Amino acid sequence: MWAGSSATRPLIRSTCPMRDLRLVIFDVDGTLVDSQAEIMAAMASAFASQNMAMLDRPTVLSIVGLSLNEAFARLCPQVDATQRGYLVQAYKDAFNDLRGPDGNAELSPMFEGALDALMNLHAHPETLLAVATGKSKRGLDKMIERHGLEGLFVSQQVADFHPSKPHPAMVLAALSDTGVDPRRAVMLGDTTYDMDMGRAGGVGTIGVTWGYHDADTLNADILIDNFTALPAAIDTLTGQER
């Protein structure tokens, strides 16, 4: 649920002038992939490792997008830092076991239209794609490999190297990697954490209605019901003064 870093700055190759570049930053879980089956199973394993009662699905999914440490802090405010560390490690171990050595695309399938949307956006030289996710680097790398998304994201921001969402560090790092003006960038996500992070980073926000938070609570600049509506939403937000 939660897995690059900008330690090595990507070389942005584009024939477009820098002023014409725009950036689309994607959340992963609940936005590009439906990972709730893996999340719930790994969470159940983590709670069982500490002889704790498993929480209900809505409660667990409400913290998707946060770093694991922050997620367990919110789910289990009664535990101390040591036990929280055990929960985090147990979750990671269970998630890796569920994924298996070759990945399991059936557990975390891409949402309908997600792959086509990524490929169509990537085909436009002025549009750069990035990821800002609560996953670990290892988790994101596996997701990209699992779904054949190598080479699509010029900036990959993960929980290993940043404060948890909604802190804007990941958005700011993606902007720095690409040199794109915040007014020419958008954040796409399914949770309030994504929208708050995008706003704090000075970029437009696009909320999706198919994710893990109630769409009515997102307070996004634009809400979309499917990926076919994404290009128009990007055009609207990157072409207007905010």
Q: Is 27 a catalytic residue?
A: yes
Rg (CA), the chain: 17
Q: Can 196 be counted among the known catalytic residues?
A: no
**Rounded Cα gap, residues 130 and 49, in angstroms:** 35
Instruction: Check 20, 29, 93, 214 and give the catalytic one.
Output: 29
Are 154 and 129 spatial neighbours (Cβ–Cβ below 8 Å)?
yes
DSSP secondary structure of 148-163: T-TT--SEEE-GGGSP
| 42 close to 63: Cβ distance less than 8 angstroms | no
- Considering the candidates 27, 177, 196, 221, report the single residue annotated as catalytic: 27
N-term to C-term CA, the chain: 32
- 3-state class (DSSP) for residue 44: helix
Active site residues: 27, 29
